Amino acid sequence: MHLARAVVRYGFQFRDVLAAWELFVEGLLVTLTLSVAAFAGGLALGVLGAAIRTYGPGWAKFLVSSYVAVVRNTPLLVQLFVIFFGLPALGIRLDSMTAAIIALIFNLGAYTVEIVRAGFESIPEGQLEAGRALGLSGPQIFRHVVLFQSMRSMVPALSSQFIFFMLGTAAVSQIAVTDLFHTASLVQSRTFRDFEVYIVIAGIYLVLAQVMRLVFAGGYRLAFGGRS
Amino acid sequence: MPVVEINNIVKRFGSNTVLDDVSLSVDRGEVITVLGRSGSGKSTMLRCINGLEPIQGGSIRVDGVEVNDPACDLRVLRQNVGIVFQSFNLFPHLSVCDNITLAPRIVQRQAREHSRDLARGVLRQVGLEDKLDAFPNSLSGGQKQRVAIARSLAMHPKVMLFDEVTSALDPELTGEVLKVLEGVAAAGMTMILVTHEIGFARRFGSRVVFMHHGKVHEIGPAAETLANPQTAEFAAFLSAVLH
């Protein structure tokens, strides 16, 4: 009852907040750009890393496992700061957007390695043998037998990982990338309606995540639909 | 000249000798059935012929090409040696047509339009022309195995190896696969079959090989040898299988 009374007394006012919709759209576009770039780069890095971890020589497997261990056991925020604030000490100066994209790809790639590797390992030995027996080369077996076949089992896990990751991109606001989350503090400083601003932001993330879910599910049906 | 010539091969897995001084020569058009208890080395011998398993001694020649010569291009060899597995090993993400034409297209570089005709042709041979665009999971076990045979036929191999191809099937489905094998044999294909189908061996086999403890224990013309086994082990095996 106290809470209800407090809500009434607070008196939500969304008008000023929503008047800044253009800022939200700009922020949303930045978040989308970052996410899509990280999905593409992270997937490529993940497939490459998984291929090395599954079929590569020992030393390369070790390199990939180390990369995965480092990334998965440190906060994304720390990785961002190392790249954005640390690298300039070596003379590598990146603008915040570039640093963010690099850090995100680096981060998502490590999680993707593990998912893709599990997919590769789920392919029975008999499939590889059938490929060999037909005279396919190693790379041909990888592409035509392993990769396409395992994608199917990977997509559900990858799409959850990607959506979870998209929500985590909010961390880039800490290096002054004007993503959706960063927009919130801009609008907040104009309107002083903190509660409303973060409710709106939460709503936008929610919708974005649901739309991505639909896109992934649609893509899955398009690629694998009709085959059980 | 024999199509397959196995000379005194030795195959070990660690300290376990699986094939011990095995020799076998197979002429063009012969249908060899290989019998034996599990663990006798019969499947391993088959897998050595197309280089899926390396050997530690002796030599194998297929169509005059030395399999275990490091200079031997296994990919070329395998286009001449088809193998069909007990567990079919069809590619579940590809249609029947794509299963059959994958290797002809990417290994033998055939055009897609031509390869579809090829698939239709080999499917007709196994009686499944209507399944061209089906996916493996929609097929019965017998149909899957017939598609696997068609996939192997599409490479136009010089010899085909069959590794217990009916062992995962119930009797009715076994019958439909054996019928296809008969057809392949009748078309003049050189075949080596590891099987427990004694009836098939008797009717369609040119020779039968009985393997025991990693050696060729008995070998001879199919019908006679099956009717009059010369060794106690083969006699015991046959009576166990037939009862």
Q: What is the 3-state secondary structure (H, E, C) of A193-217?
A: CHHHHHHHHHHHHHHHHHHHHHHHH
What is the structure's pLDDT at A1?
Answer: 72
**Pick from B18, B27, B12: nearest CA to B192:** B27
For tokens 């080369």, the residue is A137
**Pick from B140, B153, B3: nearest CA to B65:** B3
Q: How confident is the model at residue B243 (pLDDT cuts 50, 70, 90)?
A: confident
Q: Does the CA dihedral B43-B49-B54-B56 come out positive or negative?
A: positive
What b/e string do you get for A190-199 counting C-beta neighbours within 10 Å, with b at 16 or more? ebebeebbbe
Boundaries of every domain in chain B: 4-91+158-242
Those residues whose C-beta lies under 8 Å from the C-beta of residue A113, and which sit 6 or more positions away, are A45, A46, A49, A50, A53, A64, A67, A68
* Residues facing B12 on adjacent strands: B17
Average of per-residue pLDDT across B57-83: 90
Q: Is residue A10 part of a domain?
A: no
Q: Into how many domains does chain A fold?
A: 1
Do residue B102 and residue A144 have CB atoms under 8 angstroms apart?
A: yes
Distance (Å, rounded) from C-alpha B69 to C-alpha B55?
11
**Pick from B21, B147, B49, B18: nearest CA to B95:** B147
Do residue B91 and residue A130 have CB atoms under 8 angstroms apart?
A: yes
What is the structure's pLDDT at B70?
Answer: 85
Distance, in angstroms, between B240 CA and closest chain A CA?
30
Query: H-helix or E-strand containing A159?
Result: helix A148-168
What is the structure's pLDDT at A179?
Answer: 95
Interface of A with B (CB under 8 A): 124, 126-127, 129-130, 132-137, 140, 144-145, 148-149, 152, 224, 227-228
Express each pLDDT in A113-147 by its tens digit. 999 999 999 999 999 999 999 999 999 999 999 99
| CATH number where A120 lies | 1.10.3720.10
What is the structure's pLDDT at B112?
Answer: 85
Q: In one letter, which amino acid is B54?
A: P
Q: Is residue A133 part of a domain?
A: yes
Choose the most confident range, by mean pLDDT, from A6-15, B102-111, B144-153.
Answer: B144-153
What is the structure's pLDDT at A4?
Answer: 87
Distance, in angstroms, between A131 CA and closest chain B CA?
8
In chain A, whose CA is at the least distance from the CA of B107?
A: A136
The CATH number that domain B4-91+158-242 falls under is 3.40.50.300
Domain that holds residue A43: 23-224
Contact B226, B210 (CB under 8 A): no
Q: Is residue A127 part of a domain?
A: yes
Do residue A126 and residue B85 have CB atoms under 8 angstroms apart?
A: yes
Do residue A137 and residue B75 have CB atoms under 8 angstroms apart?
A: yes
B94 vs A contacts (CB less than 8 Å): 148
In chain B, whose CA is at the least distance from the CA of A124?
A: B89
Res A10 pLDDT > 90: no
* Residues facing A103 on adjacent strands: none
What b/e string do you get for A76-105 counting C-beta neighbours within 10 Å, with b at 16 or more? beebbbebbeeeeeeeeebebbebbbbbbb
Q: How confident is the model at residue B52 (pLDDT cuts 50, 70, 90)?
A: very high
**Pick from B239, B241, B191: nearest CA to B34:** B191
B103 vs A contacts (CB less than 8 Å): 134-136
Express each pLDDT in A79-118 by its tens digit. 999 999 999 999 999 999 999 999 999 999 999 999 999 9
Q: Is residue A123 part of a domain?
A: yes
Do residue B103 and residue A136 have CB atoms under 8 angstroms apart?
A: yes
Q: Is residue A164 part of a domain?
A: yes
B93 touches chain A (CB under 8 A): yes
Do residue A132 and residue B151 have CB atoms under 8 angstroms apart?
A: no
Q: Distance of CA A183 to CAs A61, A176, B170, Å?
A: 41, 10, 66
* Residues facing B194 on adjacent strands: B34, B163
Q: In one letter, which amino acid is B140?
A: S
Those residues whose C-beta lies under 8 Å from the C-beta of residue A37, and which sit 6 or more positions away, are A101, A104, A105
A227 vs B contacts (CB less than 8 Å): 93, 135, 137
Counting residues of chain A whose pLDDT is more than 70, the rounded percentage is 98
Do residue A228 and residue B135 have CB atoms under 8 angstroms apart?
A: yes
Q: Between A and B, how many residue pairs show a Cβ–Cβ distance under 8 A?
A: 61
B93 vs A contacts (CB less than 8 Å): 148-149, 152, 224, 227
What is the structure's pLDDT at A228?
Answer: 45
